Structure 1
Amino acid sequence: MNTTVTHEIVVLGAGYTGMLATVSLAHRTRKLDVRITLVNPSARFTERLRMHQIAAGHELADHRIADLLEGTGVVFHRAAATAIDAANRTVTLDDGATLHYDNLVYALGSATDTGLVPGVDDHAWTLNDPRLAHKFSTELTKLAAKGGTVTVCGGGLTGIEAATEIAEAHPDLTVTLISAGRPGAMMGDKARAYLNKALDRLGVVRMVGVKVTKVLPGAVCLESGELVASDLTMWTTGVKVSPLAAQAGIATDAKGLIVTDPTLRSVSHPEIHAIGDAAAVRMPWGQLHGTCQTGMPTAAYTAATLTRLLRGKTVKPFRIGYFHQPVSLGRKDAVIQFTNADDTPKRWYLVGKAAVFYKQTVSNSPVPSFKLSKHVNTPTQLSSGGRATRKTA
Structure 2
Amino acid sequence: MTTPPHIVVLGAGYTGLTAANLLAKRTGATVTLVNNRDRFVERLRNHQLASGQQLRTLPLRDLVRRTGVRLVVDHVTRIDPEQRRVELTGGEPIGYDLLVYAAGSHEDLDTVPGAAEHATAVATAEEAERLRGRMRTASAVAVVGGGLTGIEAATELAETYPDRRVRLTTSGVLGSTLLERGQEHLYRTFDRLGIEVREHAQVAKVAADGLLLENGEHIDADVVVWTTGFRVPRLAREAGLAVADNGRILVDGTMRSVSHPEVYAIGDAASARKPDGQEVRMGCGPGGFTTACAVRAIEDRLAGRTPRELRLEFDGQCISLGRKDGVVQYTNADGGLIGPMLTGRTAAMFKEAIVRGAGGVGLRHPTLALVTASRSLV
Tell me the residue number matched to 2:75. 80
Q: Structure 1 vs Structure 2: percent identity of aligned residues?
A: 40
Q: Which one of 153, 156, 172 corresponds to residue 163 of structure 2?
A: 172
The answer to whether the 8 Å contact 1:301/1:380 transfers is: no
The answer to whether the 8 Å contact 2:120/2:130 transfers is: no
Q: Which one of 317, 323, 327 corresponds to residue 331 of structure 1?
A: 323
1:13 Cα offset (Å): 0.5
Q: Which one of 235, 238, 248 corresponds to residue 247 of structure 1?
A: 238
Distance (whole Å) between structure 2 residues aligned to residue 309 and residue 17 of structure 1: 20
Q: Which one of 340, 344, 365 corresponds to residue 372 of structure 1?
A: 365
Q: Which one of 232, 237, 258 corresponds to residue 223 of structure 2?
A: 232
1:94 equivalent in alignment to 2:74 = no
* More divergent stretch after superposition (346-355 vs 313-322): 346-355
Distance (whole Å) between structure 2 residues aligned to residue 223 and residue 178 of structure 1: 12
- Equivalent residues in 2 for 1:43-62, closer than 5 Å: 43-62=38-57
1:131 Cα offset (Å): 2.0
The one-letter amino acid paired with 1:309 is R
1:191 equivalent in alignment to 2:186 = no
- Runs of 4+ deviating beyond 6 Å: none
The answer to whether the 8 Å contact 1:28/1:377 transfers is: no
Distance (whole Å) between structure 2 residues aligned to residue 377 and residue 186 of structure 1: 25
Q: Which one of 198, 207, 220 corresponds to residue 211 of structure 2?
A: 220
Q: Report the count of equivalent residues.
A: 376
The answer to whether the 8 Å contact 1:282/1:288 transfers is: yes
Distance (whole Å) between structure 1 residues aligned to residue 8 and residue 222 of structure 2: 43
- Equivalent residues in 2 for 1:317-356, closer than 5 Å: 317-341=309-333, 348-356=340-348
Distance (whole Å) between structure 1 residues aligned to residue 338 and residue 198 of structure 2: 27
1:336 Cα offset (Å): 1.2
The answer to whether the 8 Å contact 2:289/2:376 transfers is: no
Distance (whole Å) between structure 2 residues aligned to residue 250 and residue 109 of structure 1: 16
1:9 equivalent in alignment to 2:11 = no
Tell me the residue number matched to 2:113. 118
TM-score norm. by structure 2 comes to: 0.95
Distance of aligned partners of 1:180 and 1:289 in 2 relative to their CA distance in 1, 3 Å threshold: same
Distance (whole Å) between structure 1 residues aligned to residue 293 and residue 26 of structure 2: 12
Distance (whole Å) between structure 2 residues aligned to residue 255 and residue 281 of structure 1: 12
Gaps of 5+ in 2: none
Q: Which one of 96, 104, 117 corresponds to residue 99 of structure 2?
A: 104
1:101 Cα offset (Å): 0.5
Distance (whole Å) between structure 1 residues aligned to residue 374 and residue 301 of structure 2: 22
3-state DSSP class of the match of 1:319?
Answer: coil
Tell me the residue number matched to 1:360. 352
The answer to whether the 8 Å contact 2:275/2:311 transfers is: no
Gaps of 5+ in 1: none
Distance (whole Å) between structure 1 residues aligned to residue 273 and residue 68 of structure 2: 33
